[in-house]
Amino acid sequence: MKIVVFAGGTGRRLWPISRQNSPKQFEPIIGDKSTIQLTIDRFRETIGLENVFISTNERYLEILREQLPEIHEKHFIGEPERRDLAAAVGLAMLHVRKRYGPDETTAIIWGDNYMNNEAAFLGMLRAGEQLIAEKKAKIVYIGETPRYANNNLGWIGIDQELGRMVDQPYYAYKSWVYRPPLDECQRMFVSGKYVWNTGYFVTTPGFILDEYESLKPTMWADLSKIGEAIDSPEYLPTLHRIYSRLEEISFDDAIVQNIDPDLAVVLHGTTGWSDPGTLYALKESINPDTNANVYKGIVKVLDSTDSLLYNYEEGKLLAVVGLEGMVVVNTDDALLVVHKDDIALVKELVNGLMGTELEKYS
């Protein structure tokens, strides 16, 4: 099995921890290792780092080489610019197909997630690999058994159990729902017929690239030209000439939601997975107790609850009194204070810095 880890996002909703020059996946947000380092560690002993590819923006290649010196240079896949995930996934699948053929079982993984039950996750990966090998499905979606009605995530609808593979039950795929309203989340959670969408899946490059050819023929025509140049002296010039004109669209919208449901199955389990896409989601990931606070650095708290309090400035005390549901992040050049109900506006705030004299803080 080959693993492709995507680590090219900018993580603006986690500003000011996450910045353009050093997005969240490269920062030690929880513990002492970055999320990309924790992600790669999961595969070190089980699948082997020689089987791992990393897709990222070219501007982050040096950071990755520094944090992950064990990854072979040819397994870093650099995007000249951000064109959303349909372009990035297509490019990555071209590289895997070029080196290992169209039928190589391949898992797509994101480099900015957390989990605390890695054995359960690796078990589902192996089950997914076997499901593809035995032609039970063309694509296997890996979900997380939901812990509560989370309206900041996507959900996958599942149907009847179809069987078991390496002691893992797998289910018919029914539907794909992106960030439904809270009342709808509560209904889905209670029904037991939906799981959190981790965005992980197992498939083959041949199947995915065939879907591009069928569903996105214009994008496929350009991707094919890039693919033909891989491992040749013309690769980088071809990539830079063509990549910028690829349609800017998510992988979900371009491909996943249009795949024939009969070709997909779903695995799900309890891995403790979380996607701290916002600062309050980070707080929930570490401690969902609304009476508890989460803090880092030199912090003094009095009469406060349900708050994230991160202080990255050495030799400075962050002191708070009487806070409830607040996020306070102090770095050496920026301070953010926001209520959890307004956390979605952080991305808008950062977008507003672009093209101004304050862009250096983004």
First to last CA, the chain: 38
Residues of the chain falling short of pLDDT 70: 10-11, 23-24, 29
DSSP string of 244-311? Answer: GGS----HHHHTGGGS-GGGEEEEEE----B---SHHHHHHHH---TT--EEESSEEEES-BS-EEEE
83 contacts 6 by C-beta, under 8 angstroms: no
Per-residue confidence (pLDDT) for residue 151, from 0 to 100: 79
The residue whose two tokens read 């690769």 is 235
Per-residue confidence (pLDDT) for residue 142, from 0 to 100: 97
Domain ranges of the chain: 2-114+217-254, 279-343
Sheet holding 308-311, edge to edge: 294-296, 308-311, 326-330, 335-339
| Rounded Cα–Cα distance for residues 278 and 11 (Å) | 8
Per-residue confidence (pLDDT) for residue 287, from 0 to 100: 85
| Rounded Cα–Cα distance for residues 43 and 111 (Å) | 12
Q: Which amino acid is at 203?
A: T
CATH class (in words) of the domain with range 2-114+217-254: alpha beta
Per-residue confidence (pLDDT) for residue 10, from 0 to 100: 66
167 contacts 105 by C-beta, under 8 angstroms: no
| Rounded Cα–Cα distance for residues 327 and 280 (Å) | 7
Give, as one character, the DSSP assignment of residue 22.
S
Helix (H, G, I), strand (E, B) or coil at 5: strand
Residue 138 token pair: 């063309």
Per-residue confidence (pLDDT) for residue 206, from 0 to 100: 98
Q: What angle do CA 146, 47, 78 make, to 5 degrees?
A: 85
| Rounded Cα–Cα distance for residues 144 and 270 (Å) | 6
How many Cα atoms occupy the beta-carbon half-sphere of 84 within 13 Å?
13
111 contacts 199 by C-beta, under 8 angstroms: no
254 contacts 93 by C-beta, under 8 angstroms: no
